[in-house]
Amino acid sequence: MLMQRYRVAVLPGDGIGPEVVDGAVRVLQAVEDAAGTYKLELTYGEAGYNCISKYGTNLPPHTIDLLKATRACLKGPMTTPEELGAPPSAALQMRKMFDLYANMRPCFSLPNVPSLKPNIDMIIVRENTEDLYSGIEFELGTGIAVAMRVVTRRASERIARFAFRLAAKRKKHLTYVHKGNILRQTDGIFKQAVLDVATEFPEVRVDDLHIDAAAMQLIKQPESFDVIVTTNLFGDILSDEAAQTVGGLGVASGANIGEKYAMFEPVHGSAPKYAGQNKVNPIATVFAGKMLLDYFGETESAQAVERSVFEVLREGKVLTYDLGGKAKTSEVAEAIATKVHKA
Ligand code: NAD
């Protein structure tokens, strides 16, 4: 049988990035060995904080070339300086460069991980290219600045269709979140686009919530959601909130998906105070790797990764500090990889 090959860029990033990415790669290699039907051709590249002093940018041209030569990227967290004039986050640049319009954050209850309810299983789909993240800001006068909230029919329709397709494959329930009572023009466009696309998916039940009510409902009844679709800023906030309902940053992963490219990353940042200590949880990045396998259609391998993580958590013997254990990053990755081999 012909061996399927997938070219993947790996950007370990900085801070705890290299450690968690090493862990995820260890698991990906184990599952690839176990399957024996495909090859992940991983090429490493540099990006992030340490590149700024070397190249004046956190995403140097040779790394952009590498990304362009691959089909997807596994990205570690990167420290983003906040001073005016500093380069924007590498993730933001990649989203723009490759038009990665759909941000997907799965949130589900995990065994032995504190969760608001035992049966949470939702995905937040966030429009990734416009809204207040248009970056169009200007000063009107001293002490008065304006930021532009850009919402287009095209981008709203595209994200709505992405979310409906996902819901149709899952529990067939979609909630669209907006603030249409205040932002009548911009969220008016978003709402209408969702309702128009809904006619293509009659099997999907559709609800809507204002952003403030949605933030509350996520705490009150997180198990009532399946797919949530919303605009960029609301999605940014809701997805961190949702991650916390199922165990927090150590286990939350995200995907940024476009028509031709995709990038997978843990939700957490570079946690500089833990860098180099082999201490933090690699599971968020392992789950990012699992989504990469799903993206390539390697569903069995993706399920094997998820099963192995669940088993390690259920046994509760090899856990990092954030889940009440004392294991090292590399030990957790090894425990998951070993389960993959046994499956
Ligand atoms: P952070 O996510 O790096 O860390 C906050 C705290 O969360 C840590 O101190 C730690 O207690 C905990 N934590 C994070 N990851 C963990 C893990 N894998 N296991 C266990 N505990 C974990 O957030 P921050 O301190 O606000 O940001 C640090 C830097 O990371 C900033 O420069 C920020 O801009 C950047 N950042 C980058 C990304 C990205 O690259 N995608 C995302 C968020 C933040």
Q: Is 141 exposed, middle or buried (0-12, 13-18, 19+ CB in 10 A)?
A: exposed
Sheet of strand 205-210, all strands in order from the earlier edge strand to the far edge: 38-44, 4-11, 72-75, 262-266, 253-257, 102-108, 121-127, 227-230, 173-178, 205-210
Angstrom distances, CA of residue 238 to CA of 176, 186, 330:
12, 19, 31
Confidence band (pLDDT; 50, 70, 90) for 163?
very high
Average pLDDT over residues 143-151: 95
Which of 79, 18, 22 has the alpha carbon at shortest distance from 53? 79
Show the tokens assigned to 197. 């696309």
| Phi and psi, residue 92, nearest 5° | -60, -45
State the average pLDDT for the chain.
95
Q: Is 94 in the pocket of ligand 1 (CB under 6 A)?
A: no
pLDDT at 340 over 70: yes
Relative to the CA of 266, which ligand 1 atom is closest? 41
Q: CB neighbours of 184 closer than 8 A, spacing ≥ 6?
A: none
What secondary structure letter does DSSP report for 273?
G
Confidence band (pLDDT; 50, 70, 90) for 81?
confident
Q: Which helix (H) or strand (E) holds 95?
A: helix 90-97
Relative to the CA of 322, which ligand 1 atom is closest? 20
Q: Which helix (H) or strand (E) holds 136?
A: none
List, for residues 253-274, the tens digit of each pLDDT value: 999 999 999 999 999 999 999 9
pLDDT at 288: 98
pLDDT at 342 over 80: no
Atom 25 of ligand 1: nearest residue by CA position: 271
Average pLDDT over residues 17-43: 97
Q: How many CB atoms within 10 Å of residue 134?
A: 14
Q: Is 58 in the pocket of ligand 1 (CB under 6 A)?
A: no
Atom 30 of ligand 1: nearest residue by CA position: 269
* Buried b or exposed e, range 319-335, using 16+ CB within 10 angstroms: bbebbebebbbebbbbb
159 in Cβ contact with 229 (< 8 Å): yes
Average pLDDT over residues 31-59: 96
DSSP secondary structure of 245-261: HTT-GGG-EEEEE-SS-
Cα(330) to centroid(ligand 1), Å: 18
Beta bridge partners of 122: 107
Q: How many CB atoms within 10 Å of residue 209?
A: 18
List, for residues 82-121, the tens digit of each pLDDT value: 887 788 889 989 998 999 999 999 999 999 999 999 999 9
pLDDT at 135: 77
pLDDT at 262: 98
Average pLDDT over residues 55-69: 97
pLDDT at 134: 78
Residues tagged active-site:
133, 179, 212, 236, 240
| Percent residues over pLDDT 70 in the chain | 99
Relative to the CA of 78, which ligand 1 atom is closest? 40
Confidence band (pLDDT; 50, 70, 90) for 343?
low
Confidence band (pLDDT; 50, 70, 90) for 69?
very high
Cα(62) to centroid(ligand 1), Å: 26
Q: What pTM, to 2 d.p., does this model score?
A: 0.94
Confidence band (pLDDT; 50, 70, 90) for 5?
very high
Show the tokens assigned to 199. 């006619």
Show the tokens assigned to 209. 């919530």
Cα(240) to centroid(ligand 1), Å: 12
Average pLDDT over residues 160-169: 98
| Percent residues over pLDDT 90 in the chain | 92
Give the whole-angstrom CA distance, residue 169 versus residue 234: 24
